[in-house]
Amino acid sequence: MTVDVSRHPLRSLTADRWAVAGGVTIVAFLLVAAAAPLLSGLAGQDPYTYDLNAVSDSGAPIGFGGGISADHWFGVEPMTGRDLFAIVVHGARTSFLVGFAATALSMLIGVVAGVTAGYFGGWYDRAISRFIDVMFGFPWLVFVIALGAIVPAAFPKQLLIILVIGLFGWPGVARVVRGQTIALRQRTFVVAATALGAGPGHLLRHQYLPNLVSTIIVYSTMTIPSMIGAEAALSFLGVGVPPPTPAWGRTIGDAVAWAPTDPMFLVFPGTALFLVTLAFNLFGDGLRDALDPRTIR
């Protein structure tokens, strides 16, 4: 077995063409999200202003491809005539905010639960594991829809969505991290550190976490797209981000009804959602290969 010692993780990542493409796409979307008001402002648009001149009496956009023009680069929303380009670029903000925040929340809970369960074992592990099983089987979608009806209207809807999908997203991470921790517990270098007299704090910080970091990072990049997808799904069902805040999922939900007459209304937000999730998955895949020091290429 030969291992190339000169290869830095970053170098093997940049050698992976698909991972680079994924990374570039993610960065591009992040820039778009950050500069959303500027970008939509170039043509003098924002995602809230109605433009009833751009739609016919039946509500369908006037012109080619759902009303694509110099003013409306992606066309307009049927019925209201709001600028679709502004909606898509602002929608990226919602998707990233929810995706990152919910991922951070579920990774935090999942890693803490998984590492402690794997490390301490015994009744604590059994309790956590059973709880994870329950969480896996929990009909969270039904729960969230019901929750939407109960929570007071004053409670910020975006925060609620982050909390809900974050709090339901951690069991997968916890199970993976628990398994890895148990595997690490039997590795000789962990036994060696224990035999040197290392306590739980030292073991977790210096022996377990450095060997879990790549798993955590890779799992995070793989979780972000599923969180973005979950937010889109909730918005699609009408229990997600409330109007008029732009969200890809809700636009896609609206567009389904218009698909026969105005297909471009579905294509633009759909493509954005597809590109972002694919990009994160490609990047995560490349990251996993690059971060394992024993990966041989």
Partner 1 sequence: MLLSVQDLTISFEAGGDLSEATRGVAFELRRGRVLALVGESGSGKSVTAMAILGLLPGTAAVRGSITLEGEQLLGAAPDRLRELRGGRIGTVFQEPMAAFNPVFTIGDQIGEAIRTHRRLTSAAVRERVGDLLGTVGLDDPERIARSYPHQLSGGQLQRSMIAMAISCDPVLLIADEPTTALDVTAQAGILDLLRELRGRIDTAILLITHDMGVVADLADDVVVLENGRVVECAPVARLFAEPAHEYTKTLLDAVPTFGATRPAPAAGAGILSIRDLVVDYSSRVRAVGGVSLEIAAGEVLGLVGESGSGKSTIGRVLAGLTPVTSGAALVAGTSPVTSTSPVTSTSPVAGISPVTGTSPAAGIDIARLARHPWRNARALRRARSGIGIVFQDPASSLNPRRTVADSIAEPLVLHRDLTVAQQRVRVGELLDAVQLPAAMGRRYPHEMSGGQRQRVAIARALALNPPLLIADEPTSALDVSVQARILALFRSLQDDFGFACLFISHDLAVVEQLAHRVAVMHRGLIVEQGSTEQVLHNPQHPYTQRLLAAIPVADPQRQADRRAARVPADH
Shorter beta-carbon distance to partner 1: residue 51 or 292: 292
Taken as a whole, the chain contains a residue count of 297
Out of 64, 189, 244, 274, which residue is the one contacting partner 1 (CB under 8 A)? 189
Shorter beta-carbon distance to partner 1: residue 52 or 213: 213
Tell me how far apart the alpha carbons of residues 116 and 130 are, in angstroms, rounded to a whole number.
14
Residue written as tokens 């089987």?
A: 137
Shorter beta-carbon distance to partner 1: residue 190 or 232: 190
Tell me how far apart the alpha carbons of residues 98 and 81 are, in angstroms, rounded to a whole number.
27
Least distance from C-beta 173 to partner 1, angstroms? 20
Out of 137, 139, 210, 260, which residue is the one contacting partner 1 (CB under 8 A)? 210
Tell me how far apart the alpha carbons of residues 284 and 195 are, in angstroms, rounded to a whole number.
36
* Half-sphere CA count of 265, side-chain side, radius 13 A: 29
Shorter beta-carbon distance to partner 1: residue 27 or 202: 202
Tell me how far apart the alpha carbons of residues 105 and 101 are, in angstroms, rounded to a whole number.
6
Out of 13, 30, 193, 237, which residue is the one contacting partner 1 (CB under 8 A)? 193
Q: Cα dist. 50→16, 80, 194, 255 in Å?
A: 45, 5, 67, 17
Nearest to 82 by CA among 277, 245, 291, 209: 245
Which range touches partner 1 (CB under 8 A), out of 41-49, 111-119, 135-143, 202-210? 202-210
Nearest to 110 by CA among 172, 160, 164, 161: 172
Which range touches partner 1 (CB under 8 A), out of 28-36, 51-59, 205-213, 279-287? 205-213
Which range touches partner 1 (CB under 8 A), out of 30-38, 39-47, 164-172, 288-296? 288-296
Interface ranges with partner 1 (CB under 8 A): 2-5, 187-199, 202, 206-207, 210-211, 213, 293-294, 296-297
